Structure 1
Amino acid sequence: MEGTCASRAEQVRLGMMTVETGVVTREELYDLVWTIPMTKVADKFQVSSSYLARVCTALRVPRPERGYWAKLAVGKAAKAPSLPEPRPGDQMAWSRKDGLPTPPATKPHPATEPRARAPRPIHRVTGTHSLILGAKELFLAGREVKESEHLKPYKKLLVDVTASNTGIDKALGFANDLFNALESAGYRVVIAPPDAKLRRESVYEKEEPTRKGHKHDPYGYSRLWSPQRPTVVYIDALAFGLSIVEMTKSVAVRYVNGKYVRESEYVAPKASRRHVDHTWTSTHDLPSGRLRLVVYAPQWNVSWSTTFQETKTHSPASDIPRIIKTLKSSIATVTEKLAEAKRQAGIRQQEWLAAEKRRRQEEDQRREAQSIKDSRDELEQVIQAWVRAFSLEQFFQGIEDRATALPEADRQAVFLRVGLAREFVGTHNPLDIFLGWKAPLERYVPLAQRNEVDDSGDGDNSAQE
């Protein structure tokens, strides 16, 4: 019993250290909620117990039921369930700055479930996906935009959909169908966890490329809304980014009474002598109502993407089976790119280490040469000071020797003047000047000599500045 208490005390101590850092892992949170009551854990994180319960649900951390601590006090509490193994896309840590994690799309596995990897579901997932649920209201409750512009919601932790006011229903509907189809195939669709360190591909909304051969305008500036973190699907353990955008098309518009209207919708007033048409036409990029899906590798060191684009005769929903097939067939390509990127990163790391070693060696040689130069210069100054001190001493001593042959009054006058001169120039002990001099090794110890001392284990080998 004492060992159990000591173990719990150690868990609490480590847990409190976690609270101080502001970041808690799944394992640490699991230890905390099964060691001390949820209310006390929540107080340490400065959140409510209900908020912390939602964090546990999102991180798939089982927590004690009501009455657990009372039962534990009388020895009737059930054994704590084990922590489920993480799945691809699960958030592995939480901090207050991350906010409330996105809850899992499916119910967490029961605590009694074996840790072996669950088989892919064979049933068809229907209904509203968790990322789509309530998303429309959040998109509409955003910054004020013109009728022909894409929506710009205030909330940044949203599904990666970019559409206009008139196209948001279609875009979210397609996203929901795609996500459900992916979930039905056994692939998780989530907003990337904050600790996954995944990037979002830049979105190009124009239906036609601006320059031949360029899918993305390298010189353009996008004013589109972008989410805080990408929306990803995990094909096994590999993440693919998903971004849906309502494309824009170059359309002729006419400026009428302070706003632009499509030329096709403009009705000119009847001609009359009194009426003068003060309108003019130009070309603007307006939402076309057609969608583009960008599938990409969200890893920072990999460049890979493909697009599925709606046309007037081809709906995006009909592409869903081909999208899933493309994702599955692209695993090998992206995995190979990741391996190559890792290899290149290793090469760059070795090159950096070699360059850093050269820099240290060059700096070591420079400082060693500087220490020698400084010692030589200072020694010359010591020699000059020594010669000057002895010259002055010989000068004053010679005057005093000459004065001994003078009459008493004259001799005292000379000694008085010598005293004034000595006081004026000051007294310097040449030995003190020499003892203040530093040899090169007292200024800086070269790396080679420091390493020799390290190997022999003699004393402190820190560099002397």
Structure 2
Amino acid sequence: MAGVASPPPPLPPAKPGFPRVWKKATVSSTPIKPIYRHLRQLKDSADEVGHGKHWLVRQSEGIFRAAKPDADGTHLVARNNNAADLTCSEEVLESALSLANALFNSFENRGHSVQTAGGSAFIRPTLNNLAKPILHTERIPMKLWVPRAPTVAMVLDVPIGLAIIEINEEVMMRYVGYGKFARASDVKSVNGITWTEWQRIPSGRFKVIAYSPYFRAPWQQEWIETRRNSLIRTVDSIVEQLESAAPALPQANLSHRVQ
């Protein structure tokens, strides 16, 4: 009819990670920000997805090989938003990258993208590198590297943060001179002044941590290695568990709306 506007065309389907519902903001609300607006999306060709080296692992390799150890020498510190969330010592970097590659490819094989989320609305909570409660080293502060951009898998449109962290264990260490310590059980004798003390040192074993990247919806789950390199054989099971749990996770509702 003349003078009557045509109905507006339907909106395209919402992309994963973008809000699907909006409510008028109050004065104190923050403006709406698409969750994945600033994600770095470096895609492999279709025939490479889920096979070979995941693009995020390739991207992270050079970053971590150039990274320097923290002040305690327990883990590498990457100063780059594009690095995957790995916390490990230099000695086991290859194992950490292999575990990340297997895990990320397992997600991709089941249709779930894995990306770094710099500049998004996601947060990366403070995590620890322990497998059991501290008994002897309470005096030592926990000062782990925290990535500037969390690593996030989109599982059935639900964001799940991912971190791979080398476990530190409490060990009785003996001072052997020149500013160095060794496991007390391995030291037979020392010339000069010596003493023993409990320290937390890298164990070579890892844990995979899945968490909610929303401050308002805390949630976390861990898978811990009891033997070195055992987690890499369970990545498919980890992904299947997260896939089954995703619709009921605390962040599931927040991923579909912005209050």
TM-score range, shorter chain: 0.7 to 0.9
Contact 1:128 1:176 in 2 (8 A): yes
Whole-angstrom distance in 2 between the partners of 1:310 and 1:188: 25
Is 1:165 matched up with 2:90?
A: yes
Is 1:256 matched up with 2:173?
A: no
- Going from structure 1 to structure 2, the CA distance change for 1:229 and 1:146 (only over 3 Å counts) comes to closer
Whole-angstrom distance in 2 between the partners of 1:262 and 1:146: 20
In the TM superposition, 1:223-302 aligns within 5 A as 223-257=143-177, 258-268=179-189, 277-302=192-217
Aligned-residue CA RMSD (Å): 3.4
Cα shift at 1:233 = 0.5
Deviations 1:139-175 (A, max 9, x none): 2323354685111123243100000011111111100
Flag the structure with larger Rg.
Answer: 1
1:102 match? 40
Give 2:240's aligned amino acid.
K
Q: Please, what TM-score do these two structures have when normalized by structure 1?
A: 0.44
Deviations 1:108-159 (A, max 9, x none): 9xxxxxxxxxxxx9x9721111111042331232335468511112324310
Question: SS of 1:173's equivalent?
Answer: helix
Gaps of 5+ in 1: 1-83, 95-100, 109-120, 212-216, 270-275, 347-465
Whole-angstrom distance in 2 between the partners of 1:169 and 1:184: 22
Whole-angstrom distance in 1 between the partners of 2:40 and 2:180: 41
Higher relative contact order (CA 8 A, sep 6+): 2
Contact 1:302 1:338 in 2 (8 A): no
Match of 1:330 among 242, 245, 248: 245
1:55 match? none
Whole-angstrom distance in 1 between the partners of 2:210 and 2:82: 19
Contact 2:50 2:105 in 1 (8 A): yes
- Going from structure 1 to structure 2, the CA distance change for 1:187 and 1:284 (only over 3 Å counts) comes to same
Is 1:222 matched up with 2:222?
A: no
Match of 2:50 among 125, 128, 132: 125
Question: SS of 2:41's equivalent?
Answer: coil
Whole-angstrom distance in 2 between the partners of 1:156 and 1:208: 30
Deviations 1:408-433 (A, max 9, x none): xxxxxxxxxxxxxxxxxxxxxxxxxx
Whole-angstrom distance in 2 between the partners of 1:92 and 1:306: 23
Give 1:201's aligned amino acid.
P
Contact 2:169 2:202 in 1 (8 A): yes
- Going from structure 1 to structure 2, the CA distance change for 1:284 and 1:153 (only over 3 Å counts) comes to same
- Going from structure 1 to structure 2, the CA distance change for 1:158 and 1:266 (only over 3 Å counts) comes to same
Contact 2:206 2:224 in 1 (8 A): yes
Whole-angstrom distance in 2 between the partners of 1:87 and 1:220: 45
2:65 match? 140
In the TM superposition, 1:12-23 aligns within 5 A as none
1:398 match? none
Question: SS of 2:52's equivalent?
Answer: coil
* Most deviating of 285-294 and 309-318: 309-318
Give 1:185's aligned amino acid.
R
2:29 match? none
Whole-angstrom distance in 1 between the partners of 2:87 and 2:146: 8
Cα shift at 1:328 = 1.3
Question: SS of 1:245's equivalent?
Answer: strand
2:130 match? 206
Give 1:104's aligned amino acid.
L
Whole-angstrom distance in 2 between the partners of 1:93 and 1:325: 27
Contact 1:147 1:165 in 2 (8 A): no
Whole-angstrom distance in 2 between the partners of 1:313 and 1:149: 17
Q: Please, what TM-score do these two structures have when normalized by structure 2?
A: 0.76
Contact 2:78 2:147 in 1 (8 A): no
Identical pairs, percent: 27
Q: Which has the higher strand share?
A: 2
Contact 2:158 2:252 in 1 (8 A): no
Contact 1:309 1:316 in 2 (8 A): yes
Whole-angstrom distance in 2 between the partners of 1:281 and 1:325: 45
Whole-angstrom distance in 2 between the partners of 1:340 and 1:168: 35
Give 1:203's aligned amino acid.
L
Deviations 1:299-342 (A, max 9, x none): 2210111100000288101221221121112123215x654999
